[in-house]
Amino acid sequence: MTVVADRLSSARAQFDPAPGLAYLDAATYGLPPKPTVAALDRALHRWQAGTADWVEEWDREGEACRALFATLIGGAADEVALLPTVSVGVGLVAASLPAGTEVVVPDDEFTSVLFPLLAAEQGRGVVVRTAPFAGLAEAIRPETGLVAFSLVRSQDGRTAPLGAIVEAAARQGAWVLVDATHATPFVPVHPHLDRIDYLICHGYKHLLCPRGVAFLRVRRERWETLTPWFANWRAGSPLYGRSVGGPLTLAPTAARFDVSLAWHAWAGARPALELLVAWQRDGALEDVLALSRRLADGLGAPAPTSSIVVVRAADAEAAEAALAAAGIKCAARGGNIRLAPHVYNTPDDIDRAIEAAARLLA
């Protein structure tokens, strides 16, 4: 672990967790790097003083974030829309599905993906059919119009067989919607990106951004078939060119699906995303996965397919509280103890978590 520790040391210097805390809960919310905190502080003080240029200091930060997220997933910036949450992106897609469209989702899909589709079933005549998470590819049939799922599940860290799913969808003529919130930036999507129609990702977890920063990557072939129901001044063309009156003139790119931004969140997101792009390029994110594998091995858990490690507990909530008392921050989800390392964690954090959890679970 010495090599990993050395490679992550510069990344860890960007964070300031509480003394003695092993924060292994990025799957609930990631810790912000110091430049993000500084950017938020600067935005608040400039707002307080009334001296900020809202376009240059706040709103245009969204454009930088658009390009940085595209780099992280291996896509193009003009395919990316800026949103506040995952459910907004799923709702946009759901509202554009024709009546009678069959949508296949996992049995226990996260509600931010599932509920907008169920609302479309209730209000628009969309047909939602559930299938086992591991059997999504086999569940896609000729009448399926869309398959929607989390690439990495929040409750247990399991990763969907993305290659098999997109192949099956292409074979049957179905579209694919992926929630990559618990996957990006640790599980690559680039090899399959040309067969993913909609990829949505919230940034406040593994992307270390403020809450309210989310992305929707829309495959170019879907720009004309996805109705921009949330069209607003920011989705217009040219950007900052008109805020009153018609006609409807939208951006020629996926920016037509943008919402009006919560400015300060995006100002804080830019430095976090810049750091992530640098860490991805330098291999530090692979070192985080090595920490996750060490954690899983030490706990006797299955080898992780993402950065998330889970162990079963008889009383997960009580175990979470006991670990918190020992200075190990994690989460109880679905009867599991969920631990999610990131670049700010040390090998000592991992060893402490192994020792405390093993003792507790025994």
pLDDT exceeds 90 at position 359: no
Grade residue 334 by pLDDT with cuts at 50, 70 and 90. confident
Q: Give the pLDDT confidence score for residue 1 in this predicted structure.
A: 47
For the domain covering 54-277, report its CATH number: 3.40.640.10
Please report the sign of the dihedral spanned by the C-alpha atoms of residue 194, residue 107, residue 81, residue 269.
Answer: negative
Grade residue 6 by pLDDT with cuts at 50, 70 and 90. low
Mean per-residue pLDDT, 146-158: 96
Establish how many alpha carbons lie within 13 A of residue 290's alpha carbon, considering only the half-sphere containing its beta carbon: 15
Please report the sign of the dihedral spanned by the C-alpha atoms of residue 319, residue 324, residue 327, residue 329.
Answer: positive
Domain boundaries, the chain: 2-32+283-361, 54-277
Question: Are the CB atoms for 229 and 93 separated by under 8 Å?
Answer: no
Mean per-residue pLDDT, 180-203: 98
Q: Which H/E stretch holds residue 129?
A: strand 127-131
What contacts 252, CB < 8 A, 6 or more positions away?
237
Mean per-residue pLDDT, 72-88: 98
pLDDT exceeds 60 at position 69: yes
**% of residues, the chain, pLDDT over 90:** 94
Question: Are the CB atoms for 205 and 26 separated by under 8 Å?
Answer: yes
User: Mean pLDDT over all residues of the chain?
Assistant: 95
Grade residue 65 by pLDDT with cuts at 50, 70 and 90. very high
pLDDT exceeds 90 at position 2: no
Determine the topology of domain 2-32+283-361 in CATH: Aspartate Aminotransferase, domain 1 (3.90.1150)
Q: Give the pLDDT confidence score for residue 7 in this predicted structure.
A: 76
Please report the sign of the dihedral spanned by the C-alpha atoms of residue 173, residue 178, residue 183, residue 189.
Answer: positive
Distance CA 39, CA 31 (A): 14
pLDDT exceeds 90 at position 321: yes
Grade residue 360 by pLDDT with cuts at 50, 70 and 90. confident
